[in-house]
A and B are shown apart, each in its own frame.
Chain A
């Protein structure tokens, strides 16, 4: 159903509005990330993987749903690469194949309920960000 991975990677990068080539591998994104310990793929690696076109790796990484969208990496990146925007774009690609299954306002209370029961499974900031993005 999909075009080849390389084109897909390029689409994701374009959609994110980031320029992964600007990355100078300083690691400030990973240094500043509050979710670092929960992630299997760390923000700086996310940028490298996108640069290499490893979409499969990005889509199956746990980090995709661990990013808080706090945008600390966007704020601190000295080269303006904006790793969080990249992660947001990959999330969109993970969600879009589910058709009209976009988040609606009425599902939010369920998420919040889960949040109380199971702890920080879905971070609140992620929810806000996703709601803002996908409910249109």
Chain B
């Protein structure tokens, strides 16, 4: 108990800084995604990526939103009260991300922006829930969870390749864990991320504060 209090006091400045970050988290999301959108519009980048300024532009932005969510969400470390603030911040981040993606609707004929909102919503739910759960245990756990989420989102495609190459088996079912892969292969399944997000947020909100424990 004493050591925990000391840790809290010692990291007080860090916590207040992270709280300030959380306040401007939506600005970070919107600014980053707008920057990505502008970057993709640059000729050399566009040609290097093989993109055109039509539906592909918004799709690239959606991929960026899904991939950057684990990096852009900055939870406040602390007790239950902070978890509630994290929940509100996560909702604001998801909303800012959605608004930025929909801003690029001028380039598309179809409704890919709206169609992917459910996927982006559950991705934000899972990412923010897991990071908020980590934030209940301290800043180091936030970093660890961030790495774990990045691995969970990024590595299934690699595992699938390795399974195909060395075991002759398909790991296609792992697409449910990786929103980018699911979007690219049109095999979107919301349940695993929804379940992970719901469980993580339940844990983050239900765990007793460490001081009281």
Are A and B subunits of one complex?
A: no
